[in-house]
Chains A and B, each alone.
Chain A
Amino acid sequence: MEANQCIFCNLATGQIPSKKIYEDELITAILDIYPANPAHLLVLPKEHKSIFAQLPKATAERLGVVAKKLSDVIFKSLRPDGMNIFIANGAIAGQKAPHFIMHIIPRFQGDGVNFEIAEKEAKKEDIDALCSRLRKDVLNYFPEQKFEEEKEEKSVEEKLEEKKKGKNIDLDKITEMFG
C-alpha cells in the first residue's frame, strides 16, 4: 500500500482528525475508536512501516519510553487494575492494518479481555538446540555478546556416582583413623 493511502499514516500525521493523546517528531498516540477498553491507545510511528523489525532504532527505543509514559498517565488518571502493551506483527499474529501499531490497553477486573499466555512443558533437547542456534544468530546483531558454557544439571547417574565416590572417601578416612 502507498503511504499516502494508508489511514494510519494520515492519522499519525494529522491529515485525518483523531483524538490525539501524545505526539513527538517520531510518534503519535491516539484513542482507539474501536477500543478493547476505555482509553485503549494506538501508538503509531509517523513513518509508514508495517512491522516492528522494519522500524529505525530510534523509533523502536522511543516506543518503549512512550509506552512507559502513557501507561503512567493512564494509571494516574483512570486507575485501571492493570495494563497490557501489545504488538502484532503479521496477519497471523492478529495484525489488522498494514501500518505498525502498538496497543496500550488499560485493564479492569472482569473486563472480558484476555492476554493470558499459556505455559507448556518443552523438550530439553529442543530448547538446547534452539538456544545454541540463537546464540550464533544474535552475534550478527550484537557481536559483543559472550556466552559461557552453561552449568548443566547433573543426571541422576552422575549424582549417584558422586555419592559413591563421596562414600569411598569417607570410608578411606574412617579406615585411616584406625591406622
Chain B
Amino acid sequence: MTCFVCSLIEKKQKKIYEDDEIIAFLNPTPSVHGHMLVAPKKHLQIITQIEDKTVERMFFVSQQLSSLLYDAVGAEGTNIIIQNGVVAGQKHAHFLMNIIPRSKDDGLSFEWAQKQIPEDNMNKIQEALQTSEAKKEEKKEEVIEEKKKEEINEKEDYLIKQLRRLP
C-alpha cells in the first residue's frame, strides 16, 4: 500500500516549500483554512527516527511558515502539533508537523486536564529521565555554590581576624 503522505509529496500538490530533505504543503483536508503540513521526504513514522539535521530544518521551516499565516489568513495565533503514534492522534504512518492558524470561534481546542502526581513519583520520573547534560549542569551549579560558600567563609575569617586585632 502506498503511503498517502508519500503520494502527496510525489505529486508536490499545493507545495509551498521544498528542499532536499523536507517539503511543506497545504493540507488537502484542513482543520481550518491555512492548515499546513511539513514532512520529511523519507518515509519515516516518528520523530525519533528522523536525522538531527532534518528535524532542525523542519522546526526552522515550520517557524517561518507559521509566521506567514498571520497575514495570509488573518490568524490570531498558531498551533504546532506533532502526533507520534496512533494513541497520540497520528493518522498516517508518515511523520508530519501540523501548522494550524487559530482565530476566535474556530471550533478547535487543544486543552488538557491537569493530573495530580505525588512528589515521590515526580522525583522518580526526574531520576529516570534526567539527561547527562542536566546532571553536568547541576554539578557545575553545586561547585559554584561551594565556591561561594568558601568565599563567604574566607571573608568571615578575614573579618574575625580584623576584630581580633582590635584592642
Contacts and interface: CB of A to CB of B under 8 A. Distances in A.
A68 B48 contact: yes
Given A122-B33, A131-B16, A82 B83 contact: yes
Interface in B45-95: 46-48, 50, 52, 55-60, 62-68, 71-73, 76-91
Contacts of B60: 57, 60-61, 64
A82 B84 contact: yes
Contacts of A150: 12-14
A82 B81 contact: no
Given A63-B59, A93-B77, A118 B86 contact: no
Contact of A94 (B47, B109, B117): B109
Contacts of B9: none
Interface in B4-37: 11-18, 26-34
A117 B16 contact: no
Given A82-B88, A89-B66, A133-B72, A117 B31 contact: yes
A156 to B, nearest CB: 20
B55 A68 contact: yes
B37 to A, nearest CB: 10
Interface residues of B, number: 82
Interface stretch (A2-10, A30-38, A164-172): A30-38
B133 A85 contact: no
B119 to A, nearest CB: 10
A61 B89 CA distance: 24
Contacts of B111: 94
A176 interface: no
B86 to A, nearest CB: 7
A11 interface: no
* Most interface-central of B14, B88, B103 (chain A CB within 10 A): B88
Contacts of B80: 52, 85-87, 89
**A interface, over-half SS:** mixed
Contacts of B72: 130, 133-134, 137
B16 A107 contact: no
B85 A38 contact: no
A122 B81 contact: no
B129 A39 contact: yes
Given A31-B126, A108-B87, A83 B47 contact: yes
Given A93-B78, A147-B15, A130 B26 contact: yes
A53 to B, nearest CB: 4
B121 interface: yes
Contacts of A77: 128-129
Contacts of B68: 134, 137-138, 141
Interface of A: 14, 19-24, 29, 31, 33-39, 41, 51-53, 55, 57, 60-65, 67-75, 77-78, 81-95, 105, 107-109, 112-122, 126-127, 130-131, 133-135, 137-138, 141-142, 145, 147-148, 150-151
- Which 4 residue pairs of A and B lie closest in terms of their CB atoms, listed nearest first? A90-B77, A82-B85, A82-B88, A64-B59
18 contacts: A14-B141, A57-B60, A67-B82, A68-B47, A75-B48, A78-B129, A81-B88, A82-B85, A82-B86, A88-B79, A92-B103, A94-B109, A120-B31, A120-B32, A133-B72, A137-B68, A138-B17, A138-B65
